[in-house]
Structure 1
Amino acid sequence: MTATLLVGFVVLLLINMPVSFALAIASFLAITYGGIPAALVAQRMTAAMDSFILLAVPFFLLAGHLMARSGIARDIIDFANAAIGWARGGLAQAGIGAGTLMGGMTGSAVAEASSAGGIMIPPMKEKGYDGAFCAAVTAAASTISVVIPPSIPMIIFCVVTGVSVSKLFVAGLIPGLLIAAALMLTAWAISVLRGYPRGPRTSPRQILAAARASFWGLMMPLVIIGSIRYGIATPTEASVVAVVYGLLVGMFVYRTIRLADLPQIVLESCVTTGVVMLMIAAASLYGLIITREQIPQEAARLILALTSDPTFVLLLIFAVYLVAGMLLDLGASIIILVPVLWPVTQSLQIDPIQFGIVTVVGLAVGLVTPPVGASLFVTCGIARCNLVQGTVAVMPFVLALIAIVLAIIFFPGIATWLPSRMD
């Protein structure tokens, strides 16, 4: 069954079939070849999607679409520009700052790259920034959105492993802020070397005015994270609150969303949700195959034959993630790799929260590395530069992301300290 699964999956990917369909079809072929009753396929796929945790996915996606449609992203970018735009390479710094603040709205790196890139890249190019650099810094900033909650990849990880969504969400805060700091430092260094301009220095009154204008957007991540951190709501309940909040802000505060707009917004959210759910359903078939074939046990034996040091094992896993991220979507990589690697980390008593953050951040590097590099692909299109130029420009930011993952591996408290305070 394993050979049928792997060959079928690779062939379907080569003919450019979407990952979720390729995984589902290859898994079905392998199960059929293995003589497992077809009725079990439908039962497994249905059971995989019948989860209270997964209700958070469509609601968080809908909340992100509502906030994006309301136009609040521009106010958040204006606030970030007022707060840090005066630094060398100010527009680049503002883009990273806005990406950090918007991470609590979208939960999707590609969505953030698209929305922030459309607003930030044109004025950056007008100020003399190189197009490839504009694409690179915007794409790199989008990776923060899958680390700071709400994060769809974190939800998928928790569904696969059974780890607490609330704790993993909270665990993403410090790494997310460290990523922002590392990217800002990298952008500053490049801006100094290239002589990119500073933005105008703003007064405290102007910063306060920008903060007031973006108040409703800044409150969104606080509502989500605060309610989860202090046990007021579960992640699923917080996702519903986020939808209500986004709807009220868009319709009655900004007045940019009309009742006539809602069907299209809901449809966009449903399409994205369908992709995620199909991938999870396909993952249940994939999980059935690897369990019957005892692939996790074989992987554990192979890795433990090399080393039993938890830190070195995490380094090996991170190396696998760097390669996988270049070839597969982030969610698909979690679904394919984590079920195999999870037993290894458990046998070595690696903290599940640390493993979860290493997984999400490590695979997020793939969002800006070709040939997949979804975020980089989007921003290069907006900046009108070719992917080769974007790839060269993004390499310093990739190194910054790698440095943060290595820090989490060697200093697990970066990921585990905040969740431990919830106990």
Structure 2
Amino acid sequence: MARVGVQVTEMAGEAAVQSPRRRSRLASLERLLGLAVDIPAAILVAAEIVILFAGVVARYGLHRPLIWSDELASILFLWLAMLGAAVAFRRSEHMRMTAIVGSAGPAMRAWLDLVAVCAALAFLAMIVWPAYDYAYEESFITTPALQISNMWRAVALPVGLCLMAAFALLRLVRAADYLKVLTAALSVAAVVGLFWLAQPYLRPLGNLNLLIFFVGVAGFCVFAGVPIAFGFGLAIFGYLALTTHTPVMVLVGRMDEGMSHLILLSVPLFVFLGLLIEMTGMARAMVAFLASLLGHVRGGLHYVLVGAMYLVSGISGAKAADMAAVAPVLFPEMKQRGAKPGDLVALLAATGAQTETIPPSLVLITIGSVTGVSIAALFTGGLLPGVVLALTLCTLVWWRYRHEDMSHVRRATASEIGKTFVIALPALALPFVIRYAVVEGIATATEVSTIGIVYGALVGLVVYRRFDWQRLFPMLVETAALSGAILLIIGTATGMAWGLTQSGFSRSLASAMTGLPGGAATFIAVSILAFTILGSVLEGIPAIVLFGPLLFPIAHAVGVHEVHYAMIIILAMGIGLFAPPFGVGYYAACAIGRVEPAEGIRPIWGYLLALLAGLIVVAVFPWISIGFL
């Protein structure tokens, strides 16, 4: 018996040794697979920059357009979107609403995280075969310029889905508590099974199924912490498969249509541009110049923060990139002057909402792609609303800091201001270079980002002498991951929007909204309330893709200009996005500013009220949005 006991003890010890070894081997496998995805994704980002910039040079410079450049860029773009989505899945960077999950205890939070992975895996497993069928159907189509089978483009969908499924399985296998994995998987399987068994009872319900799936299933998934893209995917897949006779392959087609719109190619390119200006020191130069102008006045650096976010937003187009470029430069000096960290992060979040309309905003580009509104008009109309909200924020800053002691702060001399201006001039010129290229027709809204990238790289190399080649690959991978996360949401939300349209919901919504008493004014007020809520739950891009195609025609019908309406709902969503406790943008600002979220909750409400006052001004006076069109 003693010998048996010793043997059991030895076997247990061996298992304890093997378990870490096994996890180590799985981690190595995941790293190798991750590298096999990261490298092509980074190459695709670089290839898109080269192809689009070559198209601009050939068309505008050599007057010999490359007829194949847009087609090749479109083929590679779908691959970039799917591989980027796989990179984001491996890095756990798909957008999710974690307000409720984060408030749970450690054990429950870990279990809900596993449920989120299992739910995502369930969607991937159900959609991968229709994606394969879709790619096969596309093999019969030949592209017009390159004369190759369209299957080479469409096969990116099943490949990307399989890669995400592989990362999901690896994450589940690597989990330390297999009992939690089993219960999470069984919970998801039980819910899916119950819906499948309920199919005969769901079909007769008609449009009530929209409430069950698009509100119930999607809402439950989002609040349970399932990544938004997969929550949307489960909702529309369940709706089509269980309540209609529509082939599920149609959903894959709608996802393809939503993700591969060439206008959206500017998303990864502007994301990369935002990372580039931070790396080359262009953002630091702009902030230093503004600080030399206003650093000596009461609340001066707070004004600088507002102005710097306005300028940087005109370059990067991505809020996370904007905040990451400005906060590390300004926060240390502002803290030295006695500013409270909570107030700093509150203002940073407020400026993130304030600059949502400033071109080249990704939300503006998304609106243009899904509603057909001119992106050039949106770029023109977005400048003044940002100024109005900046003025309301600055008014509150003046009130809060009107008694600040500035006796210890030295005012910059004229020569110092002149020196910082000369240093910042190449960086300050970038927004004007981008705008000039669009207005003069040198490049489209998609291509113009490549001009900014080339300009930024040259300025970094020649003027500022700051170009870290070692950071280039991580920047390309980060661009692919963020873009993939955004584009997968757009793809599944496009499927949901199509389902809503086909069900007749859009007609019902149109008749209800157009029948509101008070006409355009009531319609705008209801839209502000709705998109503020949507912005806090879904973020801007998913909400726009889902509801933009439905509401913009209604806005036109009640006499609201499309560009004016776009500015109103973007600003409303921005307020929701950066408003605690649900707005994920607020938590992103806290992470970038390295400040605990609890510290900024009190001061941010004043800034949000200032933003709301500015939004009301923009809504009441349409000229602010459309006066220069």
- Per the shorter chain, which TM-score range? over 0.9
- Name the stretch that deviates more: 346-355 or 295-304: 295-304
What is the CA RMSD across the aligned residues, in angstroms? 1.9
Alpha-carbon distance in 2 for matches of 1:210, 1:254: 13
- The residue type paired with residue 286 of structure 1 is M
Does residue 1:172 correspond to 2:379, yes or no? no
Instruction: Please say if 1:378 is aligned against 2:588.
Output: yes
Q: Relative CO higher for 1 or 2, CA cutoff 8 Å, sep ≥ 6?
A: 1
CA distance in 2, matches of 1:384, 1:348: 45
Aligned residue among 26, 38, 41 for 2:235:
26
* Match 2:356 to one of 128, 146, 156: 146
Distance 1:231 1:136, change over 3 A: same
The residue type equivalent to 2:525 in the other structure is L
| Residue of structure 2 aligned with 1:330, choices 540, 544, 567 | 540
Query: Aligned letter for 1:15?
Result: A
- CA pair 187-283 structure 1, distance change in 2 beyond 3 A: same
Relative to 1, partners in 2 of residues 1:205 and 1:312: Cα closer, same or farther, differing over 3 Å? farther
Q: Which SS does the other structure have where 2:446 is aligned?
A: helix
Shift of 1:383: 5.1
CA distance in 2, matches of 1:306, 1:238: 41
Q: 2:427 aligns to what?
A: 217
Between Structure 1 and Structure 2, how many residues are aligned? 418
Cross-structure match for 1:367: 577
Deviations 1:340-384 (A, max 9, x none): 322321211310000111111111112320123333223334555
Structure-2 change in CA distance of 1:210 and 1:31 (3 Å):
same
Q: Please, which of 483, 496, 514 is the counterpart of residue 304 of structure 1?
A: 514
Question: How far 1:116 moved relative to its partner?
Answer: 1.8
User: Larger deviation: 28-37 or 354-363?
Assistant: 28-37
Deviations 1:197-216 (A, max 9, x none): 47532233322211111122
Cα distance in 2 between the residues matched to 1:389 and 1:267: 33
- Residue 283 of structure 1 deviates from its aligned partner by 2.0
CA–CA distance in structure 1, aligned partners of residues 429 and 602 of structure 2: 36
2:252 to 24, 32, 42: 42
Distance 1:384 1:64 in 2: 20
Q: Residues 259 and 125 (structure 1 numbering): CA distance in 2 closer, same or farther, change over 3 Å?
A: closer
Secondary structure of the residue aligned to 2:466 is: coil
Q: CA deviation at 1:30?
A: 1.4
CA contact (8 A) 1:106 1:150 kept: yes
Alignment of 1:261 onto 2:261: no
Is the CA contact (8 Å cut-off) linking 1:45 and 1:281 kept in structure 2? yes
* Gap change, CA 1:129 and 1:228, over 3 Å in 2: same
Contact 1:329 1:372 in 2 (8 A): no
What is the deviation of 1:393? 0.3
Alpha-carbon distance change, 283 to 121 in structure 1, aligned in 2, over 3 angstroms? same
Mapped to 2, the partners of 1:362 and 1:378 lie a distance apart of 18
Which residue is equivalent to 1:163? 373
Report the AA paired with residue 182 of structure 1.
T
Q: Provide, for residues 169-216 of structure 1, a one-character-per-residue CA deviation record: whole Å limited to 9, x for no partner.
A: 1111111122222212211111125x3547532233322211111122
**1:236 alignment partner, SS class:** coil
Q: How big is each residue's C-alpha offset from its partner over 1:285-316, in whole Å with a ceiling of 9 and x where there is no partner?
A: 11211111222221222223332521221111
Quote the residue 1:205 is aligned against: 415
User: How far is 1:386 from its partner?
Assistant: 3.8
> Of the candidates 384, 395, 400, which is equivalent to residue 605 of structure 2?
395
User: SS at the partner of 1:201?
Assistant: coil
Q: Distance in 2 between matches of 1:268 and 1:37?
A: 35
Do the aligned partners of 1:64 and 1:105 also contact (CA within 8 Å) in 2?
A: yes
Q: Is the 8 A contact 2:299 2:401 kept in 1?
A: yes
The counterpart of 1:287, out of the listed 482, 492, 497, is: 497
Which of 290, 311, 331 is the aligned partner of 1:101? 311
Superposed CA offset, 1:376-421 (max 9, x none): 2233345555434312101121112112211121110100012x2x
2:619 to 367, 385, 409: 409
Q: Is 2:438–2:445's contact at 8 Å kept on the other side of the alignment?
A: yes
Question: Residues 514 and 557 of structure 2 are in contact (CA less than 8 Å); yes or no, is this contact kept in structure 1?
Answer: no
Which residues of structure 1 form unaligned runs of 5+? Answer: none
CA distance in structure 2 between the aligned counterparts of 1:279 and 1:81, rounded to whole angstroms: 38
Q: Does 2:298 align with 1:88?
A: yes
Higher mean alpha-carbon deviation, 83-92 vs 246-255, is at: 246-255
**Counterpart residue number, 2:396:** 186
CA distance in 2 between counterparts of 1:383 and 1:261 reads: 21
2:565 is equivalent to residue 355 of structure 1: yes
Q: Measure the CA separation in 2 of the matches of 1:238 and 1:280.
A: 22
Compare 213-222 and 224-233 and name the one that shifted more: 224-233
- 2: distance between equivalents of 1:82 and 1:21? 47
Change (3 A) 1:366 1:19: same
Contact 1:87–1:93 (CA<8 Å) still a contact in 2? no
State the SS of the aligned residue for 1:336.
helix
TM-score by length of 1: 0.93
Separation in 1 of the partners of 2:418 and 2:229? Answer: 46
